[in-house]
Structure 1
Amino acid sequence: MGRATLHPPVAATLAVGLRQLVADGRLPVGGRLPAERELAAALGVSRVTVTSAYRRLREDGWARSRTGAGTWTSLPDRSGVVAAFVPGSPRDGTVDLTYASPSGPPEVAEAYAAALEALPHLLPGHGYAAGGLADLRARVAERMTGRGLPTTTEQVLVTTGASAAISGALRAVVRRGDGVLVEHPTWPNAVDKLRAQGARVVPVPRDPAAPQGTGGFPAALDRAARETAPALAYLVPDFANPTGAVLTVDERRRVVASLHGRGVVVLADETLADLALDEDDPALRPPLASVGPDGAVLTAGSLSKSVWAGLRVGWLRGEPSLLARVAAAATREHGSLPVVDQLAACVLLDRLDDALVGRRERLREQRDVLVDALRERLPTWEVPRPPGGLSLWCRLPRGTSSSAVTEAAERHGLFLSTGSRFGVGHAFDEHLRLPFTQPVPVLLDAVERLVRAAADADRAWGAPTTSRTGAVLG
């Protein structure tokens, strides 16, 4: 929270901001909120304002208090909120755009049927495969090699989704207090993982609309690396979440060369790499690890976005010695990986290129419908058309808060994530991420609900009248 995020009625906007921090997981449930006097001083508002905001939170079930003991965060009964950056339970008559994951295609069920047929051949064994089934690792290695990154089976570790691959890489490379560069905005769960690891998050601005030839993102990364001496950089080179930004071939070479030269390991998240919607030539987007020396780049990937998030199969590519450390830590946590899931993943990888044709076609149509509808119905919003990925990164009119729009949208049965969830501090409150993973009729319905919510937010909050400077808490 910061003074710049508040505007009349200040108590109400403060309550909304605190509620969003709890709802999307940035404030833990059961965590103690600052004392009223402390928060009032930090934000430069009256204590009466904070008291009023806390009272509203308690009335709505987002906080609880004991006289003389303080105020703690909580969740209202039947709220449906998970309090983390994952989808909540489905709610009838609502549209949920808080997550960017497509529905599962029929090929998933077919792959599991084939996996069950293959399972008897493995039953005589003990079922443990710490690094993943050799057949699956070989398929992942073959796919990476086909994209221009020569890879052996020994360089691939299978994980429970890309999330586990990223967590394992962080544990292997980052120590408490180390700095980690992240593009800004970025995937929220990456920041959460870094903070849990005790790392210093170093945000580096990445603007997909920035003109080429000005140094741009690679120059900003190099400058941040020189000034902060980080251990690692977490990057999404292809269709970054939430912006959809893509690193050019030249930018990839510059990024890897400068960071490797400063002793910074790069962790490339390739979860979205298969979702190019405007061009299909992978030579235009070589894997980040293919433009640097061995060991300079770790690569995480999965089938969660290209196939289905319910299929928890991912992988990490790196040097075998590092993968052995990651595998050892993972084995201590969960023993081994589900065999049937890995067998199904083998089938899906064999058919992935054919399946991606239909998936890209549907996503392209959904993206274009959503962009066109937003530009028509909300003409004061900036709505870019990303070249791939799963979501739009919209800039709201100056002075419009995504927290206010998000709260108003809930009253119309539309659930959104605030723009600030994708940043550090209170950055990006004037943005909204809108996934285009739902069917066209659902997206058009969502736009109409969003139009009503935006109008409600304008009437309820009005334009901010406070300055953009002031104390920042946290």
Structure 2
Amino acid sequence: MDSRISARGLAGALGGWRTRAPAYEALADGIRLLCLDNRLAPNTALPAERELAAVLGLSRTTVTAAYQSLRDSGHIDSLRGSGSVTLPLGRRAPRHVDTDADAIDLQQASPAAWPGLAGVMSEVAQDAASLIARAGYDLIGSLPLRASIAARYAASGVPTSPDQIMVTTGAQSAIQLVATTLLRRGDRALIETPTYPHAADALRSAGARLVAVPVTTDAGWDLDRAAQALTRTGPTLAYLMPRFQNPTGRTMSAGEQRAIAEAAERSRTTLVLDETTADLAIDDPEPVRAFAMPYADAAAPFADAAVPFADIDADVELVRIGSLGKTVWGGLRVGWIRCDVALIRRLAAERPRRDLGTPEFEQAVATRLLARFPEIVAQRSLLLGEGRDALAVALADRLPEWKIPSVRGGVSLWVELDAPLSSGLVMAARDEGLFLSAGPRFAAVSGHDRQLRLPFTAPADDLRRAVDVLARVWPDVRLAAPAPAAPDLVSAIV
């Protein structure tokens, strides 16, 4: 058994679970969703039935029936002397889910592959003889690719040499490597909430204690909370997504960047900037950023300072993380880390514990793709713009009581529901073949059950169908919830 969750901890994680009848099945669905989202890790011991019943205000019979339903669907097992324990499930769907070809999966906020990718791969395959003549892996990355990445940083106002670049197997690998290199068990790490869930998982697995700073679609980053957290807790690192933050789509203003950089300098906190969505602009009047600059313009001045923290005059260590996963294709596992040379050496010493380098073929593909990046981001802008507009219009028409944010880029809308029932809504939608992640999945600690992330990376027709499903099930979800609905936990916990 790996871990245990208390009855109060489980109640807080469940959020607005009372969204269907009978009550035992609604409770079982809530726990299933925690398992599916990996918010309840495999081999986690659940609270005793009597204890959970007391905390939730239910009869023990109801909790017993919920646990039996979970055993029947293969989500938990009961061990003699150990109580009920969650089972490894991966991405398995719960019972009664329609998994036919009409299902819509919006759990992953990644667009389909860039249309020219197959052609680039074919070109690289023609040079296979030269590729297989090499060792096949390199802890730092191929020099041509590192030089291409460095040149684009330099072109956008961030002077960079190839020695300051490490190529990784995607952004997630980069986040995990930075976390394990910089953090020791018990160190504090500042993180936004809501945030990219796998980044929070990586920090926790490195032993960090998370310090959450709220970011909202309308007010942006809570600078007072950020300054207090940096000053009082002295976190080792701060993980931020400053441009088109996932899931809110919010971008830091110059003033927000300056305030956070100054506070990080005082607390000697390393800023880890996840820029994997930074190039996904839709409405920017001049979409010229680190990886949208043509080579011919490499020496041109970059007056707009659109690259986050490019013009911050502060003695603060910056680590930048990027990848091709959102811009080109999620299956192309090529990411990178940009930092000072001393840290690159530390990362290289730590990396063999995880992997021995990024495959040569993928690196050769990535090098060619960077030469065509202006063309790629232009196509992405059109695709994401179509999806965003279709989703926003459909939501405004079918669910006008929801608060729809206005975003200028990124991959999703962080929608505010008119009741804290995101978890129950997601379970109800699964029964209709629509797969989503509930708001609490993006919480650094807990809460956000009033929010729902809706990616606009899918085709517009699929997004309209998804909204039809949400509009159809939402009234039943609202009707099944207790009145008044359980309060959102964001303000109490974050």
Question: What TM-score does the superposition give when structure 1 sets the normalisation length?
Answer: 0.90
Q: Establish whether residue 435 from structure 1 lines up as the match of residue 448 from structure 2.
A: no
How far apart are residue 91 of structure 1 and its match? 5.1
Deviates more, 1:320-329 or 1:453-462: 453-462
Which of 360, 373, 385 aligns to 2:381? It is 360
How far apart are residue 80 of structure 1 and its match? 4.5
Q: Who is 1:155 aligned against?
A: 164
Q: Who is 2:348 aligned against?
A: 327
Q: Establish whether residue 174 from structure 1 lines up as the match of residue 195 from structure 2.
A: no
Map residues 2-17 of structure 1 onto 2, 5 A cutoff: 2=11, 5=16, 7=18, 11-17=24-30
| Alpha-carbon distance change, 424 to 18 in structure 1, aligned in 2, over 3 angstroms | farther
Q: Establish whether residue 311 from structure 1 lines up as the match of residue 311 from structure 2.
A: no
Q: Who is 2:194 aligned against?
A: 185
Q: Establish whether residue 380 from structure 1 lines up as the match of residue 401 from structure 2.
A: yes
Judge conservation of contact 2:277–2:326 (CA < 8 Å) in 1: yes
In 1, Cα distance between equivalents of 2:310 and 2:271:
9
In 1, Cα distance between equivalents of 2:90 and 2:472:
26
In 1, Cα distance between equivalents of 2:91 and 2:212:
36
How far apart are residue 60 of structure 1 and its match? 3.0
In 2, Cα distance between equivalents of 1:77 and 1:242:
22
Map residues 30-429 of structure 1 onto 2, 5 A cutoff: 30-43=43-56, 45-66=58-79, 68-74=81-87, 79-80=92-93, 92-210=101-219, 217-279=222-284, 280-282=287-289, 283=304, 285-288=306-309, 290-293=311-314, 296-398=317-419, 400-429=420-449
Judge conservation of contact 1:249–1:285 (CA < 8 Å) in 2: no
The CA RMSD measured in Å over matched residues stands at: 2.5
| Alpha-carbon distance change, 78 to 150 in structure 1, aligned in 2, over 3 angstroms | closer
Judge conservation of contact 1:6–1:466 (CA < 8 Å) in 2: no
Q: Who is 2:477 aligned against?
A: 457
How far apart are residue 330 of structure 1 and its match? 1.8
| Alpha-carbon distance change, 105 to 76 in structure 1, aligned in 2, over 3 angstroms | closer
Judge conservation of contact 1:29–1:75 (CA < 8 Å) in 2: yes
In 2, Cα distance between equivalents of 1:123 and 1:6:
54
Judge conservation of contact 2:16–2:424 (CA < 8 Å) in 1: no
Amino acid corresponding to residue 207 of structure 2 in structure 1: G
In 2, Cα distance between equivalents of 1:225 and 1:22:
33
How far apart are residue 371 of structure 1 and its match? 0.3
Judge conservation of contact 2:185–2:206 (CA < 8 Å) in 1: yes
In 1, Cα distance between equivalents of 2:484 and 2:92:
29
Q: Secondary structure at the match of 1:2?
A: helix
Amino acid corresponding to residue 222 of structure 2 in structure 1: F
How far apart are residue 128 of structure 1 and its match? 3.3
Amino acid corresponding to residue 312 of structure 1 in structure 2: R
Question: Aligned pair count?
Answer: 459
User: Which whole-Å deviations, capped at 9, do the CAs of 1:392-435 have from their partners, x for residues lacking one?
Assistant: 0001113x411111111111110110110000343011111000
Q: Secondary structure at the match of 2:216?
A: coil
Amino acid corresponding to residue 366 of structure 2 in structure 1: A
Q: Secondary structure at the match of 1:106?
A: coil
How far apart are residue 331 of structure 1 and its match? 2.7
In 2, Cα distance between equivalents of 1:466 and 1:269:
34
Question: What TM-score does the superposition give when structure 2 sets the normalisation length?
Answer: 0.87
Percentage of pairs with the same residue: 39
Amino acid corresponding to residue 345 of structure 1 in structure 2: A
How far apart are residue 14 of structure 1 and its match? 2.9
Amino acid corresponding to residue 448 of structure 2 in structure 1: F
In 1, Cα distance between equivalents of 2:468 and 2:57:
37
| Alpha-carbon distance change, 294 to 137 in structure 1, aligned in 2, over 3 angstroms | farther
Judge conservation of contact 1:405–1:454 (CA < 8 Å) in 2: yes
How far apart are residue 29 of structure 1 and its match? 2.4
In 2, Cα distance between equivalents of 1:295 and 1:158:
23
Unmatched tracts of structure 2, length 5 or more = 1-9, 290-303
Q: Secondary structure at the match of 1:104?
A: coil
How far apart are residue 71 of structure 1 and its match? 0.9
How far apart are residue 58 of structure 1 and its match? 2.2
How far apart are residue 93 of structure 1 and its match? 1.8
How far apart are residue 176 of structure 1 and its match? 0.6
| Alpha-carbon distance change, 217 to 76 in structure 1, aligned in 2, over 3 angstroms | closer
| Alpha-carbon distance change, 365 to 379 in structure 1, aligned in 2, over 3 angstroms | same
Judge conservation of contact 1:295–1:318 (CA < 8 Å) in 2: no
| Alpha-carbon distance change, 468 to 270 in structure 1, aligned in 2, over 3 angstroms | closer
Judge conservation of contact 1:137–1:156 (CA < 8 Å) in 2: yes
In 1, Cα distance between equivalents of 2:434 and 2:337:
36
Deviates more, 1:45-54 or 1:425-434: 45-54
Q: Establish whether residue 18 from structure 1 lines up as the match of residue 31 from structure 2.
A: yes
Q: Who is 1:86 aligned against?
A: none
| Alpha-carbon distance change, 365 to 117 in structure 1, aligned in 2, over 3 angstroms | same
Deviates more, 1:250-259 or 1:197-206: 250-259
| Alpha-carbon distance change, 47 to 462 in structure 1, aligned in 2, over 3 angstroms | closer
Judge conservation of contact 1:268–1:298 (CA < 8 Å) in 2: yes
How far apart are residue 332 of structure 1 and its match? 3.7
In 2, Cα distance between equivalents of 1:77 and 1:423:
20
User: Which whole-Å deviations, capped at 9, do the CAs of 1:305-345 have from their partners, x for residues lacking one?
Assistant: 11111100000011111112212222343222200000000
In 1, Cα distance between equivalents of 2:158 and 2:90:
50
How far apart are residue 12 of structure 1 and its match? 4.1
